[in-house]
Structure 1
Amino acid sequence: MNSARPESSRPEPLRPESPAQSTPPPNSADHPWPVRSVALKVAQWIDRLGSIWVEGQITQINARPGTRTAFLVLRDPAADMSLSLTCSPRLLEESPVPLTEGSRVVVFGKLSFFTGRGTVSLRVTEIRPVGVGELLARIERLRALLAAEGLFDPRLKRPLPFLPRSVGLVTGRASAAERDVLKVAQSRWPAVRFEIRNTAVQGPTAVPQILTALRELDAADDVDVIVLARGGGSVEDLLPFSDETLCRAIVACTTPVVSAIGHEPDSPLSDHVADVRAATPTDAAKRVVPDAAAERALVADLTERAAAALRRWVSREERVVAGLRSRPVLAQPWRALDERANDVDRMLAAIRRDVRRVVDADGTELAHLRARLTTLGPAATLARGYSVVQRVTAGSAPEVVREVGEMPPGTQLRVRVADGAVRAAVIGKDK
C-alpha cells in the first residue's frame, strides 16, 4: 500500500450521530457502497495478510535505467497464474546470480492493493534465486514421495501397442526432437500417423501447455500411444518434466506414455512415472513403431523355419510309419492267424467230443428214467389186467371210484382198461 493517499481517498472519521443514525443501513440496492469504500475495505483486508514468501518463475522484467521501481511478473510453474511484483532495481543488480526471464526465485514481500487502479501487486524486499543444488534436492524429495506412493511401480506400466493407429507427439515447435522422431518413425514404418502438439518445453509456460496437450491426446480415440520428446539441456531447462503436477497427469493418462526427455544421462521424474522410458527421442521412435524391413525379414525367417520344421516333422513321421510297416504284425498280418488256426481246430474238436460225451451220457440216463417211468406208470398197470373205474355224473368230470359205497345201484360208470374204456351201470353189490 502507498503510505500517502489523496485526502479524498482516506476513510472518513467516525462522527457522533443521533440514535436514529447510529447503525448504518445494510448494503443493498437501495443503499450501495461507493467505489472508494469497497476499494478501501479490499486494501484493508489484503493488508492483514502481512509479509509472505512466494516461489515462482520470472517471466517478465521491466527495469528501466534511472527509475526507482522495477516491475516483474512471477508465474506459477504448474498453472496459468501470475502475480505482479515491484521492487527496487538494486535487488536485481545486487543478486548473486543474474536474474533473467525463466529464473526460479523465492521472493519476500507484502501485498498491496492500489485503490486508484484497483490492482494488486507484491512489493518485494528480498529475492533469492533457487540454485541448481536446491532444485536437485527438491527433485529428490519429490522422487522419494512419488516412489512411496507407488507411482514408480512396474506393475502400473502399460505395454505399448505393436502397431499404433496414431502416435501422439508432444514436443517443441520445429525442434530437433520432433524432426528425429518423425524421420526415424517414418523410415521404420512409412504409414505411421502422428498427432503433433507443439508446446513450450522449458520455462514457466511449459507445464500448463504440456498438461493441455496430454489431456487432448489422451481423450483422442485413435491415439494409441503418447510420446513426450525434448532434446538435452541443463537442469533448469528440464525442470518442467520433473513437475509434480505433470508427473501425476502422466500416471492418470489411460493411454500409454513414452518419456523421451534429454539424453541418456538425464533422468527427469517423467521418465520414472511414464510407461516406457526412452533414452533419446530417436530411441522413442524406435520403440513406438516397428521396423517394416525387420518385420518382413522376421516373417521370412519364421516362414522358412516353419517350413523346415514341417519338413522335419514329415520325415520323422515317415520313418515312424516305415518302422511300423516293417514289423511282422503289419508285414504278414495273417501269419498270427495261421499260427492260431490249428489251435482253434484242436479246441473245436475237443469241444465237439466233450459235447457228444455229455449228450450220450444224458441220453442213456434219460432212457433209464423213461423205462423206470414206464414201469411205474398207470399204463403198465392197466396192461397187466387192472382197470380204472370212474363215476360219471352229468355236468361234472368223471371221478375215480375207490370204495363200493361210492357206487349205489344205477350209478353210471366208465371203466378204463389198457386198450380203451367202456361204459357200464351198477346193477348190484357183492360182499
Structure 2
Amino acid sequence: MENQQSAGPASSLPPTAAQTSAENPWPLRVLSEKLKIHIENSPVTWVEGQLLEANVRNGHAYLTLRDVDVDNSFSVTVWASVMRTLDSTPQVGSRVVARVKPSFYAKTGRLSLNASDLRPVGLGELLVRLERLRQALGAEGLFDAERKRRLPVLPGKIGLITGRDSDAEKDVVRNATLRWPAVQFRIINTAVQGVDAVPQVIKALHELDADPTVEVIVIARGGGALEDLLPFSNEDLVREVAAAHTPVVSAIGHEADRPILDDVADLRASTPTDAAKRIVPDLNEEFAGLDAARQRLDRAVNTLLQREGQLIASLRARPVLANPQVMVSSRAEDLERWRERATAVFSHRVQRAGDEISHLRAQMRALSPQQTLDRGYSVTQLADGRVLRDVRDAAPNDQLRIRVAAGQLTAAVHDIFPAEAPAESN
C-alpha cells in the first residue's frame, strides 16, 4: 500500500523542467538526478591549466586547476588508481594538461572534474606552442615592418605599464630621467605574471592609448622563467598591441627573452634600461652634438670666407682691376680706329657715288631734248599740241608752234613740200 501511495505522486511529476510550476514543482532530488545524468554524459575532455592547490591524501590527489589566462578554476580529483600511473606527483604552480570528465555530487550539488590522466606541460611543448602562434600571427602580417610606427624624437609624455615597485619601473624612470630630466611619465601598475596579468595589461593599454597626451607606451617587466613571461605571448594581448594607435615599446626580460610581444611591438628593447635609452635622447649627447655642429659650422664659414677672400684678392690682382682705366682707354682706341675707318669708307663711298651721279648727269644731259635743241634743232607742234613729224599732217594756213633752244615762236603754213621717196636701187 505504501509503495502504491508513493508511486502515485511520482507518476504525476512533470516530465521536463519546462513543465514544472509553483503548483507542481520537482523535488530537489529530481533536479539533482537529472543534472547528474546530463553532466556525467559529457564527453571526456583534455584541458590545460595551472595548479593552485595539490593535496594528496590516502593516495588520492585533490587539486584546484586554474585557467592560465583568466580567473576560472575547477576542483579536480585524481583517484589513487590514476595516481599510481603518473610519473610525478602534482606540484603547486606547475602547468598541466589533464584528461577529465565532469562529475556531479548530487548530495551537496558539487561539480568537479575526475582526471583519468595528468601530464605536466614541458618547456619544449610550450616553446612549440609559442612558435606555432608566432608563425600564425606572422602570416597575418602583424609583424610586418610596414605596420610599425616611428617613435617621436622627444615624447611629451611616456605611458609605462609595469609591476608595482618593480625594478623594471625604476630602471625605465631613472634612466629616462637621467637622459632627459624634463621627461614626464604616466605609470599604470599591473600584474606582470599570473592569471591577472593579461586582462590588467590590456586594460592599462586601452587607457593609455586613449590619452592624447601619451605619445609612446612602454610595457616593461624584468626577467624570469618562461612560464612567468607567458602573459606577454598571449594572443589577446598581442592583438591589442597591434591595434593600438600609440607606438608601443616592448621591454620584457633580458636580451635572451623574446616573447611574441617583442615581434608585434613598434620597437623591441632588450631590457627596460635599453627602453629608456631608446625612447628619449640623452641631453648631454644633444648638447655635445650641438657643440660639434656649431664647430663644424664655424669651420665651414671660416673656410668659405677664406676661400672667397683669396678669390677676391686674385681678382683684384688682375690688371683690369688694378688699373680699370686700361679697359676704357683700350676700348677708346679701338673705337677711334673704327670711327676713322668708318669715316674713310663712308667718304670714299660718297665720292664714288658723286662721280657716278656726275657721269649719269652728263649722260642724261647728252640724251636730253634740250641738248638736241642746243645743237640747232627745233620741235614743231600743231595747234592741238601734237608734234609735227610729217608735213602731210599740216595744211596751209595752219598755225604751228615752234620750240627752239631758247624760247618758242608761232608760224603759219604757206607751202607744203612733201619729202621725195628715195630712189630704188637696181
Alpha-carbon distance between aligned partners in 2 of 1:92 and 1:400, rounded to the nearest angstrom: 164
Alpha-carbon distance between aligned partners in 1 of 2:34 and 2:19, rounded to the nearest angstrom: 17
Alpha-carbon distance between aligned partners in 1 of 2:380 and 2:105, rounded to the nearest angstrom: 158
Q: Does structure 1 retain, via aligned residues, the 8 Å contact 2:391–2:416?
A: no
How far residue 374 of structure 1 moved from its aligned partner, in angstroms, is 0.7
Instruction: Name the counterpart of 2:102.
Output: 111
How far residue 286 of structure 1 moved from its aligned partner, in angstroms, is 1.6
Once the two structures are superposed, residues 257-303 of structure 1 have per-residue CA deviations (whole angstroms, 9 ceiling, x without a partner) of 21111122322222233222222212211211122233223223322
Alpha-carbon distance between aligned partners in 2 of 1:98 and 1:29, rounded to the nearest angstrom: 45
Instruction: State which drifts further: 86-95 or 307-316.
Output: 86-95
Instruction: Name the counterpart of 2:50.
Output: 57
Read off the aligned partner of 2:416 and give its amino acid letter: D
Determine if the alignment matches structure 1 residue 86 to structure 2 residue 97: no
Instruction: Name the counterpart of 1:302.
Output: 293
Aligned residues: CA RMSD = 4.2
Determine if the alignment matches structure 1 residue 358 to structure 2 residue 373: no
Instruction: State which drifts further: 198-207 or 329-338.
Output: 329-338
Instruction: Name the counterpart of 1:318.
Output: 309
Alignment CA distance shift 1:390-1:302 (3 Å): farther
Q: Does structure 2 retain, via aligned residues, the 8 Å contact 1:87–1:125?
A: no
SS in 1 for 2:381: strand
Alpha-carbon distance between aligned partners in 2 of 1:380 and 1:43, rounded to the nearest angstrom: 161
Correspondence list, 1:154-303, <5 A: 154-303=145-294
Alignment CA distance shift 1:255-1:119 (3 Å): farther
Read off the aligned partner of 1:273 and give its amino acid letter: V
Percent of aligned pairs with the same amino acid = 43
Correspondence list, 1:124-135, <5 A: 124-135=115-126
SS in 2 for 1:370: helix
Instruction: Name the counterpart of 2:416.
Output: 430
Structure 1 spans left out of the alignment, 5+ residues? 1-6, 16-23, 393-397
Determine if the alignment matches structure 1 residue 75 to structure 2 residue 67: yes
Read off the aligned partner of 1:99 and give its amino acid letter: Q
Q: Does structure 2 retain, via aligned residues, the 8 Å contact 1:388–1:415?
A: yes
Alpha-carbon distance between aligned partners in 1 of 2:118 and 2:321, rounded to the nearest angstrom: 101
How far residue 408 of structure 1 moved from its aligned partner, in angstroms, is 6.8
How far residue 372 of structure 1 moved from its aligned partner, in angstroms, is 1.0
Alignment CA distance shift 1:404-1:139 (3 Å): same
Q: Does structure 2 retain, via aligned residues, the 8 Å contact 1:408–1:426?
A: no
How far residue 172 of structure 1 moved from its aligned partner, in angstroms, is 0.9
2:359 pairs, out of 358, 368, 372, with 368
How far residue 100 of structure 1 moved from its aligned partner, in angstroms, is 2.2
TM-score, structure 1 normalization: 0.76
Structure 2 spans left out of the alignment, 5+ residues? 1-5, 418-426
Instruction: Name the counterpart of 2:381.
Output: 389
Q: Does structure 2 retain, via aligned residues, the 8 Å contact 1:92–1:99?
A: no
Q: Does structure 1 retain, via aligned residues, the 8 Å contact 2:54–2:90?
A: no
SS in 2 for 1:298: helix
Q: Does structure 2 retain, via aligned residues, the 8 Å contact 1:83–1:121?
A: no
Alignment CA distance shift 1:143-1:68 (3 Å): closer
**Equivalenced residues, count:** 402
Q: Does structure 1 retain, via aligned residues, the 8 Å contact 2:380–2:400?
A: no
Once the two structures are superposed, residues 219-250 of structure 1 have per-residue CA deviations (whole angstroms, 9 ceiling, x without a partner) of 33222211110011111111212223333333
Alpha-carbon distance between aligned partners in 2 of 1:146 and 1:410, rounded to the nearest angstrom: 141
